[in-house]
Chain A
Amino acid sequence: MSEPRPVLHCRDVHKTFGGLGPGRLKVLDGISLTVRAGEIVGVFGPNGCGKTTLIRICAGLLSPDEGRVEVDGKDPHAAEIGYVPQNYRESLFPWLTNLENIAFPLKLRGVSEQERRRRVYALLSRFGIELPLDRYPYASSGGEQQKVAFLRAVVIEPRVILADECLAALDFQSRIEVQDQLLSFLRDIGTATLFVSHDPEEAAYMSDRVVVLTDKPTEIAREVQVGLPPLRQQAMKLSADMLSARQQIVSLMVGEVKR
């Protein structure tokens, strides 16, 4: 069987903010990466290195100055993308119930209300997730809001999922719980996932390989392979493979990354 072909393709992406004036800030300086179907690629880098900028370019919310992003060979605007922003709480629609939030992309596509409901229930039962569907986001816990934001991104079965530090706001217990649910979920639907994290352990645990970025102007320092099986358990965070991946990421961070 041949390797699945790349779904997300960033080619030599450059981005500078602030025009030509003195406030000019070069953020991305030639980022190239690919993510294949079924693959989870972590993105890790120092604060302010442009992880969010990269994700936003991949989502089609920003245009690169140079280079291009393709999803399935198409422009991001024309592709099926699931996006979980950093501030996922704010991204939920407070006037909609959790169910209506998850079903929002279906509504835009003209799916009937009955069918929307059916599909959301099917999605939840498929992954054994329990959620107060008729409650509003503001009356739900942080972990529940996080799941709603994620389910909303995947309900259309997108070709690519872009998740931007989406677990950062959770407390430790909800976080490891959501990590495992998310992982089995992503493996099951087999989309290509770009997973930004500011935590080296989480980046390694959630990914097949981790792209480590340098400080601004940002390039790729290296890609670190994570030698773990696709499906994981929290105990594996103590395995030799995991520790080695973490060590590589951290040493890149304190070494060549900080220039």
Chain B
Amino acid sequence: MRRASLIPGVLILLWVILTRLLLVTPLVVPAPGDVLQQLLVILFTRQDTIWPDIGVSMVKVAAAFCIAALGGVLLGALMGANRRIYQTFFFPVDFLRSLPATAIFPIFMLALGIGFNSHIAYIAFPCLWINTINAMYGVLHGSAVRREIAAVCRASRWQTLVYVTLPDALPYVASGLRLSTSAALIMVIAAEMLMGSKAGLGRRIFDAHFTLAIPDMYAVIILVGIIGYVLNRLVLSAERRVVHWAGREY
């Protein structure tokens, strides 16, 4: 624990020294005290409260995550299980996942309007392909020996799919879901900055930047960092609990 807090401690110390000695202008790096005070203000007072923005952004993350999980895992599992579907969909999927979502956000806005729906589409887009690719490889890389055991036990195709192939794909699916959580957080901030938004964490950073409320900007950035970290830890611990066998099969 001591070692783990070494680097953050040094960085904060450096931050204090830089700002105290006025080596940087507070327009670029504000004093840590100001940022901390602003952080407490937006968290615990009515004035400029951040909670509605956290709510808006997290609802978008959750909705996009679920859509991408459902669609991606289904498409990926089908592609892994069926050669025809694989051959039909591999090229389009491979192309779309290589296409930066940011390049096509205007299309989402034209098609879905400004606001919630286009944000969801923009956030879900990369997450969908992450889940598709992972579920596909999960099904493709499942153990042939275990499928053979099912065959000798005279399992039907459906039983083999449900009892063997899909559980075998779960470690890959879980990795996909974890990666898509991180991606969703990146995308929601970008969506709210790029595509216009009444509220949200990205909007708050954008506004603070525009009005030169630099301590406020730093406070929100730090908060986004903390949210991202906590989200990752939560997903990771859920993953370890559900796919407890991942990486320890032999």
Contacts and interface: CB of A to CB of B under 8 A. Distances in A.
A143 B145 CA distance: 19
A254 interface: no
A232 interface: no
Interface string B220-250: 0000000000000000000000011100111
Given A77-B154, A95-B170, A83 B149 contact: yes
B138 to A, nearest CB: 13
Interface stretch (A104-112, A177-185, A204-212, A217-225): A104-112
Query: What range describes how many residues of A lie at the interface?
Result: 20 to 34
A247 interface: no
A256 interface: no
Interface residues of B, number: 22
A188 interface: no
A85 B151 CA distance: 13
A94 B250 CA distance: 9
A83 B152 contact: yes
**Dominant secondary structure at the A interface:** mixed
A7 B148 CA distance: 22
Contact of A108 (B153, B243, B248): B153
A93 B154 contact: no
Interface string B75-113: 000000000000000000000000000000000000000
A108 B250 contact: no
B152 A59 contact: yes
Interface in B98-151: 143, 145-146, 148-151
A229 B245 CA distance: 43
**Of residues A59, A77, A90, which shows the largest number of chain B Cβ atoms within 10 Å of its Cβ?**
A90
B164 interface: yes
A81 interface: yes
A94 B163 contact: no
Nearest to B167: A95
Contacts, number: 59
A54 to B, nearest CB: 15
Given A90-B250, A95-B170, A136-B245, A107 B149 contact: no
**Of residues B145, B153, B154, B155, which shows the largest number of chain A Cβ atoms within 10 Å of its Cβ?**
B153
Contacts of A85: 145, 148-149
Contacts of B143: 90-91
B249 A108 contact: no
A113 B145 CA distance: 25
Contacts of A138: 245, 248-250
A90 B146 CA distance: 7
Contacts of A105: 153
Given A61-B151, A85-B145, A152-B149, 11 more contacts: A60-B152, A61-B148, A77-B154, A85-B149, A90-B249, A91-B146, A91-B148, A93-B167, A104-B149, A138-B249, A138-B250
Interface of A: 59-61, 77, 81-83, 85, 87, 89-91, 93-95, 104-105, 107-108, 136, 138, 152, 156
19 contacts: A59-B148, A83-B149, A83-B152, A85-B145, A89-B250, A90-B145, A90-B249, A90-B250, A91-B145, A91-B146, A91-B149, A95-B167, A95-B170, A95-B243, A104-B153, A107-B163, A108-B155, A108-B163, A138-B249
